[in-house]
A and B are shown apart, each in its own frame.
Chain A
């Protein structure tokens, strides 16, 4: 993604419309991060539209594929039970947009660890994202951990990754050592996938 050639101000009035506009945007050669982020934020979360994708697992957060973007992007819904969180991870050179559909998620940003390091990773910042807010990250910005810190409410988020990827690195906060992991979908297009 480079400097915008033309930036539209989109308003997605439903999840279906959001997906349609995303297909149009990603059909172009040049795509603007700001445009996509604004589009994602413009969609006002309506649970009726996404409840079919929101499959929770009691033990950990789930990834539920909504749309595979003609290979240009993956749109998925993540479901976080109380206390569920991710490891610190990178984004395999892809762009990552994360919009809160329900509840709140805490995002903690970390610096990339030194190549031969053995030290505690450095926290850059942290924030709590509220409903309908959309965050953006890529590898040049840093690494992050996402967690639902609520002990009473579950959380649901909408993620867009471009290009799509199915593996990334997880990092040990105490040493900075990384470990490649494969990511899987708990459900695809509303159907539970068993693996």
Chain B
């Protein structure tokens, strides 16, 4: 890029240097105070120094809203761009990313995040700390599981997960009430009822903790060592609404199928407090694989009806 760029074009708002073979975006860009859209697709960016130093503090760091770096050679999300607090849209599609840094949560204004076509294997739960994220694309990667925290992305309208390595989804995904688009095709989603048989029996500490919680055995902080007081405060309620139980570390992972009126079955991972605790119809699911099997009227079936529209729309 020419050295005098910010002097010649101080009012520049949109710059498209896509397909120009650039190996680095230099400091010439930093002093462009009105630049809100920078498109640099299909270049040779990705090495160290691809983005200019001091981006966060520069005028460009405050003005930039849209950054498209798709079709380059980034093997990691460049740390230099994590300081772009005003950034609304980021695309790193078609690069060589193997992961997403937890510090992605620093992009507080991010609404649109395109990471399709990389080699990403897992998603950090910190991604869920982006309060305005409405469009998340993770298709064509190597993702094996979705962290349940992703359900905290209340603004999410579209989630693209197709062509990954997912076998199930966390049941919390049903909490995404604004989700209108969800793509799951091309994942090895389990289709038959699966019960995780590697159940590690609870420790004595866990059993004692469960008893105290479910029987409401009274205690005060002076009765117990501090670490046990803290332990007791970490009890999780069993997600099965018909069970009043709690669990600490030991739980059963059960794949339950949420059946959308016999037309679509989505395997959702449930955490239950013990193998004996299971929703009334799961024993029915074990014996029958008929498509007319459906959820009992718990909150999952209400969310399921909503999700059907999303999945088949």
Most central of A83, A85, A87, A179 by chain B CB within 10 Å: A83
Chain B: residues with Cβ within 8 Å of the partner, total of: 33
Secondary structure dominating the interface of A = loop
Segment of A15-23, A126-134, A170-178 engaged in the interface with chain B? A170-178
Contact (A172, B312) CB under 8 Å given A58-B135, A83-B160, A151-B70 = yes
Q: How far, in Å, is A118 (CB) from chain B's closest CB?
A: 6
- The size class of the interface chain A forms with chain B is 20 to 34
* Contact present for A175 and B265 (CB under 8 Å): yes
Smallest CB-CB separation from B70: which chain A residue? A152
From known contacts A174-B189, A177-B291, infer whether A151 and B140 are also in contact, taking CB-CB under 8 Å: yes
- Give CA–CA (A111, B94) in the complex, Å: 31
Q: Are B312 and A152 in contact (CB under 8 A)?
A: no
Is A139 an interface position by the 8 A CB rule? Answer: no
Measured between alpha carbons, how far is A149 from B139 in the docked complex, in Å?
Answer: 10
B209 contacts A by Cβ under 8 Å:
no
Report A-chain residues with C-beta under 8 Å of the C-beta of B94. Answer: 150-152
Complex CA distance for A60 and B71, rounded to whole angstroms: 21
Instruction: Closest A residue to B138 by CB, please name it.
Output: A83
Q: A83-B93, A151-B71, A152-B94 are in contact. Are A59 and B114 (CB under 8 A)?
A: no
Residue of A nearest to B158 (CB): A59
Q: Contact: B183 with A179, CB < 8 Å?
A: no
Which A residues are in CB contact (< 8 Å) with B137?
82-83
Among the listed A83, A85, A177, A181, which residue makes an inter-chain contact with B114, where contact means beta carbons less than 8 Å apart? A83
CB atoms of A152 and B157 under 8 A apart: no
Whether B312 and A170, one on each chain, are in contact in the complex, defined by CB atoms closer than 8 angstroms, is yes
Q: Does B313 contact A (CB under 8 A)?
A: yes
Counting chain B CB atoms within 10 Å of each CB, the highest count among A82, A87, A150, A181 belongs to: A82
B181 near A59 with CB under 8 A, answer yes
Q: Does B74 contact A (CB under 8 A)?
A: no
- A147: shortest Cβ distance to chain B, in Å? 9
User: Which residue in A83, A87, A152, A175 is a CB contact (below 8 Å) of B71?
Assistant: A152
Which residue on chain A has the smallest CB distance to residue B18?
Answer: A152
Majority secondary structure, B binding face: loop
Q: Are A59 and B93 closer than 8 Å at their CB atoms?
A: no
| CB neighbours of A170 from chain B (8 A) | 312-313
Known: A82-B116, A83-B137, A87-B312. A172 touches B263 (CB 8 A): yes
CB contact under 8 A between A181 and B93, given known A82-B70, A83-B137, A83-B139: no
Could you tell me the distance in whole angstroms from the C-beta of B309 to the nearest C-beta in chain A? 9
CB distance from B182 to the nearest CB of A (A): 11
Q: Which residue of B lies closest to A182 (CB)?
A: B313
The chain A residue sitting closest to B92, CB to CB, is A151
Find out whether the CB atom of B116 lies under 8 angstroms from the CB atom of A151. Answer: yes
Verify B181–A60 contact, CB threshold 8 A: yes
Bound complex: CA A149 to CA B289 (Å)? 34
Query: Contact: A151 with B93, CB < 8 Å?
Result: yes
A59 touches B116 (CB 8 A): no
CB distance from A9 to the nearest CB of B (A): 37
**Contact across chains for B114 and A179 when beta carbons are under 8 A apart:** no
C-alpha gap A177/B308 in the complex (Å): 13
B-facing residues in A133-157 (Cβ within 8 Å): 149-152
* 27 chain-A/chain-B pairs, Cβ below 8 angstroms: A58-B112, A59-B181, A82-B70, A82-B91, A83-B93, A83-B114, A87-B312, A118-B289, A118-B291, A151-B70, A151-B114, A151-B140, A152-B42, A152-B70, A170-B312, A172-B263, A172-B264, A174-B191, A175-B264, A177-B262, A177-B264, A177-B291, A178-B263, A179-B264, A179-B312, A181-B312, A181-B313
Closest 8 CB pairs of A and B: A151-B93, A151-B94, A151-B117, A152-B71, A59-B158, A152-B70, A179-B312, A177-B263
Given pairs A118-B291, A151-B71, 11 additional interface contacts (CB within 8 A) = A58-B135, A82-B137, A83-B117, A151-B70, A151-B93, A152-B41, A172-B263, A175-B291, A177-B262, A177-B263, A178-B263
